[in-house]
Chains A and B, each alone.
Chain A
Amino acid sequence: MVGTDDSAQLFTIEGIIAGLIMLSTAFIVIGSVNIYTPGDAHISDMQLKQLGSDALLMMDTPDNYGEKSKLRIIVENVSAGGAKAEWAKSEFHTVFGDALKTGTGTTDIIDSIRYNTTVYFRDGNKIDNYPLGETGSEIARQPSVSTGRLVLVDDSGTNKIFRVEVRLWRE
């Protein structure tokens, strides 16, 4: 039954090699696409997030021992409500905005960072929030990142924790 013609063997080998070539092509294509710069956006996000959390950390660090930090004063005024909360709004913009613009003079700092801030706190049994307002348009090409800081206010016997959350993006 077995013929002298061995062309079927050749077809089989050719088929296997064709398969290998297709597989290796796919491997090369996927391999090369995967490696391209996915971390790029990540790192600029991280720079923005780090700057935001640095700014909150520095605002929450008083210059002298025993003083209240700027951030704590702002949060206490938010807690007091009314005109004091309005003052907290403008104070936060002044201090936080200045911090974002602070540099050493080595590079020109382009004031392109916009942010939106909210203070979250417990009010009875529910979580309430007070917006400290936003700067600029919410529409931007770049993704926004979020950072925050917990601030403990321990006056008048009752401890209360506030979360100051800032969403930052580049315009």
Chain B
Amino acid sequence: MIALIMVLSMVPGILAGVESSRIDYDAVAYRTSVILCEDPGSPASDDVQISVSGKKPWERYDLLHKSEIERLGLAVSSLTPNILSKNKVENFFNMGDELTFDEEDYRSLVIFGDYPYNYNISLKIGGDTYMNGSPVPDSGYGYMRRLVKMKEPGYALIDSADYNETFKSVTALDPSVDTVFSVPLDYYGLQNNRTIGEEYRFRPESEPVSVTLYNFRNSLNRSDVTSVELTDVLLRNSNGDEIPVLSGDYDDNIYRLYIDGTQYRINGLPPDIKDSEEIRMELMPDLYSELAGAGQLKFTLDFDMTYTFEPDESMNHYFISTEDKEAPFDYDHSYMTRPYLREGAMEVLIW
């Protein structure tokens, strides 16, 4: 009799389990959206662990180390709910160069739970749409919609004409001028500037630092220029010594150099750039670890150039230089675009 009572009392439990599966989907969708929008993932760059152990934030892992990722979250930091990091978003939606995630990864790192849920996660920021998962069924799914903003990294966009100099005269014997366009950068100061919220801060540890020199061709008085050679792009410390981090084996995660949209390596620069319009240097987040390891977080990004002119002394010979006017990478110059936010929405469907 007692056994019968026990069996009978268990039966409704089984029925209730079936009935409440719909609710589970909504709850899982909510949980997934919270992890994605409000959590920076783990390991994350605002994690105390990271500064102690020297771990990288998850979005900078490669495929080999994917198994060390504990959780995929897209927030810039744990203090900035609903503000997503562009770098994390691109890696999460498999648009990055190093990481790819499959269904099993999403289930174990974002959705969690023993049951193999189907999912569809989409994000729309302005006109850009990101999506992964299965096609959505007509009904019977758990749903959550979140309103978010995505942080776009800031950059420097410098008009070469603003740095035209003409203080050197050339002679037939020595028709060339060596010049340096130097951009001072303080990685430590930018990364740890606590007066600015992380959603608006330059964070070289997790975002690329991009410096573009544009209007290069037109800023020259080109009739007297024979050639312009970009002899080197390098980092120098305050003593003027080179920090040898760009010259080693080429790695896309350290720097990317583009001249008129074509990517170059520093040991394979083109011989003449006098007809080029734009030089763009992107210092990637992995460089931060290299520099931190070397204790050189304050440095200048130098473009070394050699201009060769027609030796006509009656002409003013123009070249670009930062000798008279500095071009630091910080918040307060008209050529700087500070990090900014773009509005969007995220939808999470689970079934």
Residue A37 at the chain B interface, CB threshold 8 Å: yes
Assess whether A31 is in contact with B81, with CB atoms less than 8 Å apart.
no
Contacts of A145 in B (CB 8 A): none
* Cα separation A28 to B200 with both chains bound (whole Å): 58
Assess whether A102 is in contact with B345, with CB atoms less than 8 Å apart.
yes
Assess whether A28 is in contact with B146, with CB atoms less than 8 Å apart.
no
CB distance from B190 to the nearest CB of A (A): 13
Interface string of B126-138 (1 = CB under 8 A from A): 0001010000100
Assess whether B347 is in contact with A20, with CB atoms less than 8 Å apart.
no
> Which of A4-12, A49-57, A86-94 is near enough to bind chain B?
A49-57
Q: Which of B23, B146, B196 is close to A50, meaning CB atoms less than 8 Å apart?
A: B146
Assess whether A24 is in contact with B9, with CB atoms less than 8 Å apart.
yes
Assess whether A103 is in contact with B124, with CB atoms less than 8 Å apart.
yes
> Which of B46-54, B57-65, B254-262, B334-342 is near enough to bind chain A?
B334-342
Residue B205 at the chain A interface, CB threshold 8 Å: no
A24-B8 contact given A47-B145, A104-B122, A107-B347, CB 8 Å threshold? yes
Residue B5 at the chain A interface, CB threshold 8 Å: yes
Contacts of A36 in B (CB 8 A): 16, 19-20
* Cα separation A36 to B13 with both chains bound (whole Å): 9
Assess whether A64 is in contact with B147, with CB atoms less than 8 Å apart.
no
* Cα separation A51 to B143 with both chains bound (whole Å): 12
Q: How large is the interface on A (under 10, 10 to 19, 20 to 34, 35 or more residues)?
A: 35 or more
Assess whether B16 is in contact with A104, with CB atoms less than 8 Å apart.
no
A61-B83 contact given A28-B12, A36-B19, A37-B23, CB 8 Å threshold? yes
The A contact surface, by secondary structure, is helix
CB-nearest residue of chain B to A46: B30
Interface string of B98-122 (1 = CB under 8 A from A): 0000000000000000000000101
Assess whether B20 is in contact with A57, with CB atoms less than 8 Å apart.
no
Assess whether B13 is in contact with A35, with CB atoms less than 8 Å apart.
yes
A102-B344 contact given A32-B15, A37-B19, CB 8 Å threshold? yes
B contact residues vs A (CB 8 Å cutoff): 1, 5, 8-9, 11-13, 15-16, 19-20, 22-23, 26-27, 30, 81-83, 120, 122-124, 129, 131, 136, 143-149, 196-197, 199-200, 331, 338-347, 349
Known pairs A28-B9, A104-B345, A106-B349; list 16 more (Cβ under 8 Å): A17-B1, A36-B20, A39-B27, A43-B23, A57-B81, A57-B147, A64-B200, A64-B340, A65-B196, A99-B147, A102-B343, A103-B124, A104-B123, A104-B347, A106-B136, A107-B143
Listed A/B pairs (23) with beta-carbon separation below 8 Å = A24-B8, A27-B5, A31-B13, A32-B12, A32-B16, A36-B16, A36-B19, A39-B20, A40-B22, A44-B26, A47-B143, A50-B30, A50-B144, A51-B146, A54-B82, A64-B340, A65-B338, A65-B339, A104-B124, A104-B345, A105-B129, A106-B347, A107-B349
